[in-house]
Amino acid sequence: MSGRATSTPGGKPPLYKIVMLGDSGVGKTSLVARLTNPDRPLNHDISATMGIEFDTQMLDTPQGHKVKAQIWDTAGQERFARVLLPTYFRKAKGVILVYDITNIKSFESLSERWMTQLNDHSNSDDLAKLLVGNKSDLTSESSGDNSSSSREVTAEKAMSFCQEYGMEFLETSAKSGNNVLTAFEKLIGIVHDRALNNNNSSSSNNNNTTTNNKNNSKSTSGSGQNKGGNNNNNKSESSTGGGGDDDGTVNLNASGNEGGDDSGACGC
C-alpha cells in the first residue's frame, strides 16, 4: 500500500474535501461543531448557516493512516444553497447527507432536492456518500421519555434509500455525540480507500502501457453503485479547475480559492 495519497514520514497527510448537505435545521453545523469541539455543549442558539464555512480535522482511517478532512458546512436554506452549489461540490471527494430523524420532510428532501442537486452539480459516482440520520437523542426509544419528539423516519426507510443510491447509513446525535466521530471516520475511510485504489490502478497503468496511456480511463463504466468505494478509477479527466490532483486530495495552495487556511469562512 503506497502512493501519493498516504501520509509518509515527514510528508503531509492527504487532505480530502467533505461536504455536509441537507435541509436547514437538521444539524449539519452542530455535527461539525461536535466533531471539532467534542467537549463543548451543543449550542441551541446556533444560527442558520448563510454561506459556506469549513473546518479541518485530522481523522484516522481504517487503513491506519492519518488524513485531514476539510469539512464544508453548507447552508440548508434554498436561497443560499442554490447559488453556492457549484462551489460546494468543486473537488469534493465525499458528501454527508443529513436528515433529522424526527422530521420526515427533511428525509424526503434528500431524494426530492439534494440528490438532484448533487447529480446536477457533480459527478455523483466520484463522490463517496454517507447518509446520516441526526438527532437520535430525541427519539422516545433513546430517551425513555414519551414527551420527547418521536421518530418520523425509521431505520428501514433510511436503509432502503441507501440501497437505492448506493451509500451507507448511521444515526447520530450532535447533542450527545453518539456516532459523530464514527460517521466522519466512516466516510473518510471510503474516500481514502478510493484514493489508494486510484493510485494503485494508475501506477499499474503506467507500468503496463507503453503507448497511448492517456485514453485508458475511458473504458471504465462510471454508472451504477459506488458502495464500498472501488469503482472510481476513471474520472481523472473530469476534474475541473486549477491545481486539482487526481489522487483525491484538495490542493490548498494552487488556485487560491479552495481555502488557503484551516478554518473559517470561504470567501467565495
Look up residue 12 and give its DSSP letter.
P
Q: Which is nearer to ligand GTP, 141 or 207 (CB)?
A: 141
Cβ atoms of 16 and 94 within 8 Å: the answer is: yes
Return d(Cα 206, Cα 200) in angstroms, integer. 10
Return d(Cα 244, Cα 247) in angstroms, integer. 9
- Beta partners for residue 171, in sequence order: 133
Q: Residue 25: which of Mg ion, ligand GTP, none does it interact with, CB under 5 to 8 A by kind?
A: ligand GTP
Cα atoms found within 13 Å of the Cα of residue 81, Cβ hemisphere only: 18
Q: Which residues ranging from 21 to 40 are in contact with Mg ion (CB under 5 A)?
A: 28-29
Q: Which is nearer to ligand GTP, 134 or 234 (CB)?
A: 134
- Closest to 99 (Cα-Cα) out of 143, 155, 38, 52: 155
Write down the least CB distance from residue 155 to ligand GTP, Å.
16
Q: Residue 109: which of ligand GTP, Mg ion, none does it interact with, CB under 5 to 8 A by kind?
A: none
Write down the least CB distance from residue 105 to Mg ion, Å.
17
- Beta partners for residue 23, in sequence order: none
Q: Which is nearer to ligand GTP, 109 or 226 (CB)?
A: 109
Write down the least CB distance from residue 160 to ligand GTP, Å.
23
Q: Residue 46: which of Mg ion, ligand GTP, none does it interact with, CB under 5 to 8 A by kind?
A: ligand GTP
Using CB under 5 A, list all residues that contact Mg ion: 28-29, 49
